Amino acid sequence: MLNTDIRLDEPSAASATRKRLGQYMTPTDVAFFLVDLMPEQDDTDITLLDPGAGQGALTTAFIKKWTSQRPRRHLAVDAVEIDKRQHGMLVKNLSSLPQDQLLTLGTRREDFILSALKSDKKYSHIILNPPYARIDSKSPQAKLLRQQGLPSTNLYSAFLSISIKSLAANGSLVALVPRSFCNGKYYKPLRDLILHETSIHHIHLFESRTDTFKSDGVIQENIAIVLRKRTQAQNVSLSTSKAKNLSLSSLTVRPFQEIVRKGDDMRVIRLPLHQDCETSRLEPLIVKHRLSDLGLSASTGPIVDFRNRRQLRLTPTQASVPLIHSYHIQSHNLCWPLITNGKKNALVLTNKNAKNVLKPGYYIAIRRFSSKEQYHRIVANPVEAIGPPFLNGVSFENHVNYITTALTEMDRELCWGLTAYLNTDHADRAFRDISGSTQVNVSDLKILDFPPLEDLRRFGIELLKLGSVSPVNSELAVKNVLSTIHGHPIN
């Protein structure tokens, strides 16, 4: 579902239909790139499925590559498309390809979800750029998916799940999909299915400013995932490309254990693509703990600004508590209050919102939205909500996540130390390994690795000496402490 469409034919479909059916066609060069990712197989005959075939960009590229291969095996194509207009173009485009005795073309106009779930046909090859749109949980499709143990909230995850089920033993599948299924609880059933039924062979990340999936204003990265129906291989190929420069020049091979860690109950699919010498130098020095192991918790600010408009104030009053919004979090220090351009700085206390006000103490505030072009995706600041004007507590707006104490007492050193760690290149790289969206989710923070409390407190003491939480100071504080602990300098 790439936005930069180089279409076989510009669809004049109303944008509502286009949106509902997720009609974003694969550009020709991307289609050939995806076909080239398909592993070589030595089956006697090829059976190809293209679910949500649109105008046939993927099938056309597959057939063109197959035509050039010698010796050729019989190829039977099943291209399924729901939309009348797209289906018309599909038939036209595929029938304009040169006739070939070894080629059998099948184009069906039907709902892939309803038809495939009632069939047990298997394919040696599946290639898909599935539609991206929410599935109504009350629809017959959602019901059938649940009945068959493939619960899906989005058309793309439903198409991918059904395709995995439709893959023959040793068969190969290439899918162009948003990266969002690689973590988070909603896509856990899909990850379980992938990891149970297939071997992850290759993941290619499309790093681009414009070619993006968009959902609720959240920009997501695209990946091509190559799966084989067999037990998991020891290694996985990883590659990445920027904008239109499609190539595998960045290809690396990593152990599967780095992609899905042993003992990870969420089965997050990590893309360790951002390791350069600088950041990977810290990797072996960080003893890994989750926030919950450290007795800490992460939450999203409960005050939604547009729902609390009447309680928000530009300047704090006796009857209000300080409100921390994303604009108060700068990469050098917390800038509160921000008396400029109508920025809201305080929340008037009411009986209704009292439960959303936190008691005075130390917190780490993290912006929820970041762009991948930003220097660091995580921008963290200590919030020292102690003494006036925090005597009545503090509140966090919904564009902000915050880390606070669950069991462990959050003191000043720990607060600054966690901030320092979160603002390092190392934490940024670790974050990019697990997240491909512009949002910093609480669930992402919960699966990040953190050093032990005593190391974090030492980072804090060092950062406090440096005086501000800029990325440079944070990096310096963490490296100074780790150099001392490990007895050798870390640059």
Ligand X SMILES: C[S@@+](CC[C@H](N)C(=O)[O-])C[C@H]1O[C@@H](n2cnc3c(N)ncnc32)[C@H](O)[C@@H]1O
Q: Which residues bind ligand X (CB under 6 A)?
A: 1, 21-26, 52-54, 57-58, 80-83, 86, 111-113, 129-131, 155
Closest to ligand X by CB, 80 vs 380, is 80
Provide the β-strand partners of residue 390.
Answer: none
Helix axes 412-422, 471-486, angle to 10 degrees: 100
Q: Side chain identity at 288, as an amino acid letter?
A: K
Helices (H), 302-401: none
CB-wise, 58 or 481, nearer to ligand X?
58
Shortest distance (Å) from residue 97 CB to ligand X: 16
Closest distance to ligand X from the beta carbon of 222 (Å): 11
Question: From the CB of 114, what's the least distance to ligand X, in Å?
Answer: 7
Q: Which two tokens stand for residue 198?
A: 């297939």
Residue nearer to ligand X on the CB measure, 155 or 380? 155
- Which pair of structure tokens corresponds to residue 404? 């606070």
In angstroms, give the least distance from the CB of 491 to ligand X.
46
Q: Which is nearer to ligand X, 83 or 413 (CB)?
A: 83
| Whole-number Å distance between alpha carbons of 213 and 194 | 21
Residue 57: CB minimum distance to ligand X, A: 4
How far apart are CB 251 and ligand X at their closest, in Å? 23
Pick between residue 105 and residue 420 the one whose CB is nearest to ligand X.
Answer: 105
CB 172 to ligand X: min, Å: 17
Cα–Cα dist 491/132, whole Å: 44
Which is closer to ligand X, CB of 18 or CB of 74?
Answer: 18
The amino acid at residue 57 is: A
Sheet of strand 235-242, all strands in order from the earlier edge strand to the far edge: 103-109, 75-81, 46-51, 123-128, 167-178, 222-228, 199-207, 235-242, 252-255
Closer residue to ligand X, CB minimum distance, 1 or 445: 1
- Report which of 136, 144, 201 is spatially closest to residue 167, judged by C-alpha positions: 201
Q: Which is nearer to ligand X, 53 or 427 (CB)?
A: 53
Contact residues for 472 (Cβ-Cβ < 8 A; gap 6+): none
State the number of CA atoms in the 13 A half-sphere of 459 facing the CB: 27
Residue 146 beta carbon to ligand X: minimum distance, rounded to whole angstroms? 16
Cβ distance to ligand X smaller for residue 54 or 471: 54
Tokens of residue 12, six digits: 């004049």
Distances (CA, A) of 67 to 62, 175, 377, 381: 9, 22, 45, 58
Taking the complex as a whole, the smallest distance from the CB of residue 187 to ligand X amounts, in Å, to 18
SS3 235: strand
Token digits of residue 212:
């993006």
Measure the CA–CA gap between 129 and 152, rounded to whole angstroms: 17
Distance CA 408, CA 415 (A): 11
**How far is residue 469 CA from its own chain's centroid?**
27
Q: What are the C-alpha distances in Å from 476 to residues 276, 283, 362, 417, 449?
A: 18, 16, 22, 12, 19
The pair of three-digit structure tokens given for residue 351, joined into one six-digit string: 């009986």
Nearest distance in Å: CB 218, ligand X: 18
Nearer to ligand X, 111 or 264 (CB): 111
Question: Given the complex with ligand X, which of 23 and 370 has the nearer CB atom?
Answer: 23
How far is the C-alpha of 177 from the C-alpha of 175, rounded, in Å? 6
Shortest distance, position 402 Cβ to ligand X, whole Å: 37
Distance between CA atoms of residues 32 and 217, nearest Å: 30
What residues does 47 pair with on adjacent strands?
Answer: 76
